[in-house]
Amino acid sequence: MLQIRFFIPTIFVNNHNAMPMLFSSFIIKLSFNMEETMKKTILLSVIASTMVMAGGNITPVEPVVAEVEKDWGEIFGQSRTFYIDRTYSGSLVNNRNSLATGGYIGYKSPDFNGFTAVVAAYGTYGFDIHSEDADVIGSASYDPSLYGDAFDNYAFIGQAYVNYAFGNTNIQAGRVRLDTPMAGADDARMLPNLFEAAVLSNKDVENTTLIAAHVFRETTGTFSNVYGAPSALSLQSGYGLGYKEGTSGSFANMGTIALGYNDINGDGSIDNETAGVTAFAAIYTGIEGLKLQAWDYIAWDILNAVYLQADYGWNCLLSDSVKMKASAQYINETDIGDAFAASVDSNYFAAKLGASFGGLSGYAAYSVTSDSDAAMNGGIITPWGGMPAFTQGMVTRHMFFADTDTWKAAATYKFADLGLKATAYYVEFDIGQANTYKPGQAWTASESGFDIQYDVAAVKGLNLRLRANYPRDFAPGLDWDEYRLIANYNF
């Protein structure tokens, strides 16, 4: 007779601290009687015995199921409230001010195999803070830079694009925000410039970012309206001769934004619509402390713009606690294709030297724009919000005028424990007679100002900002004092 015994442990948890112990034993007996004619008898007997070594109630263990949070995407945006007050003196005596609120709110979809989609609505609403509405009395009392064209309150879809990321490559196509040297958001008032574009970036090469983009259309931000009628001043300050075609949320062709409906090259046509702007860039950071970048903008049938910049940082030889930084930038523009802007031959060069120690930093910069017999007498043409100059003021952007030398000094102190940062600056422009803002006149313009920012610790994402600028001889005899109070809440 064969007898086999099995022990199978079974564990329960009781409500006390005693060690639980429970066993079940099974005995299987097998009996074979060979004396009967090949008759087999199998007797199976199962005896269950239980021995409990723990007291109290016994409760089975409940399975724990972890909840997986579903990704519904992301809501993002910025609420901005802006007050601006400007008081003119000299050749014009007037005070104007405006108060507006707005910003943007958007949605970013969850990632699906590398694909995401983004849509964002932008808008601005100006308050009637004077006896008459803004669209009635206009810039005599209201500052136009917080509104759309003709003091419009407006809203529109400013971003709507698809993004695809794979490996070290990223592709973005649709309505986007760009921040590049010669085409950018220039987010200095209520709403920024935005673009319809396709942008590809790649980082397969070590320490190098390669960019290729094509820009089809632009809508100009509210800052554009400060220039009133398009002019040589706006064309060299970030806003082309056709910028009004892109105001109030309208997207217009890049060539039209740049030159408007003007027969500049004398070919008998006022249609300056082009294939857009193609840009290529390489940014290299493979050497410690050094950053190099090169950009080439092909504005089809208008101009080719090359932008170069080098930045190098190092520890001061006298003390490692003092950080030094030297920078240089260069812009060259030439006409291409059908030359809708006629002959273009412009050059700008600037250098900057800065230092920082703890929370204190400062820099001095100098720039030169040459003159020529070409468009704008050789001044830099920048119609798409690009404003990379080391020597620009808060509002005065005369450094791109032909035959102009500019110098600037600025200092910043960061009170890290308080979330406070304060900057003061001074910039001076030695403007030659070749300028196209006031042709034939040479004069010296200047601007001083300050910028104070406070990150409110008690409210995450809230930034309060007080800015001021004091241009003198913006045009000969034209001065003003301007103050801005801005509240940005990012989420």
147 vs 32, 127, 143, 157, 383, CA distance in Å?
103, 10, 8, 16, 20
Tell me the two tokens of residue 308.
């170069």
Residues 6 or more apart whose Cβ sits within 8 Å of residue 113: none
Identify residue 47 by its one-letter amino acid code: I
Q: What is the pLDDT of residue 291?
A: 98
DSSP H/E element including 468:
strand 462-472
Main-chain phi, psi angles of 144, to 5 degrees? -80, -5
Q: What is the pLDDT of residue 69?
A: 80
DSSP H/E element including 350:
strand 345-357
Residues 6 or more apart whose Cβ sits within 8 Å of residue 81: 99, 100, 101, 486, 487
* Percent composition of the chain: helix, strand, coil (DSSP 3-state, to 5): 10, 50, 40
481 vs 21, 87, 96, 469, CA distance in Å?
87, 5, 11, 6
Buried b (16+ CB within 10 A) or exposed e, 198-229: ebebeeeeeeebbbebbbbbbbbbbbbbbbee
Q: What is the pLDDT of residue 65?
A: 62
Q: How far apart are CA 192 and CA 156, in angstroms?
A: 12
Strand ranges of the sheet holding 49-52, from the earlier edge strand across to the other edge: 2-9, 22-30, 49-52
Q: What is the pLDDT of residue 290?
A: 98
Main-chain phi, psi angles of 278, to 5 degrees? -105, 135
Q: What is the pLDDT of residue 372?
A: 97
DSSP H/E element including 232:
helix 232-235
DSSP H/E element including 314:
strand 303-315
Q: How far apart are CA 442 and CA 427, in angstroms?
A: 17
Catalogue the long-range contacts made by 184-188 (C-beta closer than 8 Å, 24 or more residues apart).
184/384, 184/385, 184/386, 184/387, 185/221, 185/385, 186/221, 186/223, 186/238, 186/385, 186/386, 186/387, 187/221, 188/221, 188/223
CA-wise closest residue to 273 among 289, 293, 257: 257
Torsion sign over Cα 216, 222, 224, 228 = positive
Asked if 468 and 422 count as a contact pair (C-beta separation under 8 A), the reply is: no
Asked if 13 and 59 count as a contact pair (C-beta separation under 8 A), the reply is: yes
DSSP H/E element including 233:
helix 232-235
Asked if 483 and 84 count as a contact pair (C-beta separation under 8 A), the reply is: yes
- DSSP characters for 108-154? EPPPBTTEEEEEEEEEEEE---SSS-HHHHGGGTS-GGGSSGGG--E
Q: What is the pLDDT of residue 14?
A: 38
Asked if 384 and 183 count as a contact pair (C-beta separation under 8 A), the reply is: yes
Give bridge partners of residue 465 from the DSSP assignment. Answer: 453, 486
Q: What is the pLDDT of residue 66?
A: 65
Q: How far apart are CA 59 and CA 13, in angstroms?
A: 5
Q: How far apart are CA 180 and CA 281, in angstroms?
A: 10
Spans of the chain below 70 pLDDT: 1-68
- Altogether, the residues listed in the chain come to a count of 491
Q: How far apart are CA 41 and CA 31, in angstroms?
A: 6
Identify residue 75 by its one-letter amino acid code: I
Asked if 156 and 122 count as a contact pair (C-beta separation under 8 A), the reply is: yes
Question: Collapsing DSSP states into helix, strand and coil, what is residue 337?
Answer: coil
Q: How far apart are CA 44 and CA 332, in angstroms?
A: 100
Torsion sign over Cα 249, 254, 259, 260 = negative
